Amino acid sequence: MQGHTPIFEKKNVLITGGAGFLGSHLCERLLREAKVICVDDLSHSNLRNIEHLLQYPDFEFIKYDVTKDIDLNDFPELDKFRVKFQGVQEIYHLACPTSPKNFESLKLHSLAANSAAMMSTLNLAVKSKARYVFASSSVVYGEPEMDERAFTEEHEGIVQHLSPRGCYDEGKRFAETCVSTYRQVYGLDAKIARVFSTYGPRMPLRDGLLIPDFIINAIEGKSLTIYGDGQLKQSLCYVSDMVDGLIRLMQSGVDTWIVNIGSDEIYRMEDVAQMIISMVDSSSQIQFEDPLVFLTKKGKPDLTRAKEELQWLPLVRLQDGLKKTIDYTLANKEAII
Q: Is the Cβ–Cβ distance between 190 and 179 less than 8 Å?
A: yes
Amino acid type, 244: D
Q: How far apart are CA 230 and CA 271, in angstroms?
A: 9
DSSP string, 303-335: -HHHHHHH-----S-HHHHHHHHHHHHHHHHHH
Pinpoint the alpha helices (H) of the chain: 21-30, 83-86, 107-113, 116-128, 166-186, 210-220, 239-251, 269-280, 304-310, 318-336
Q: Residues 168, 182, 199, 238: which is the catalytic one? A: 168
Q: What does the alpha-carbon distance between residue 222 and residue 187 come to, in Å, rounded to a whole number? A: 53
Q: Is 56 a catalytic residue?
A: no
In whole angstroms, what is the distance from residue 309 CA to residue 243 CA? 16
Measured CA angle at 289 (ends 317, 297), to 5 deg: 50
Alpha-carbon span 306 to 293, nearest angstrom: 30
Question: Cα–Cα distance between 73 and 316 in angstroms, integer?
Answer: 40
- How far apart, in whole angstroms, are the C-alpha atoms of residue 49 and residue 24? 6
Q: Which residues are catalytic?
A: 168
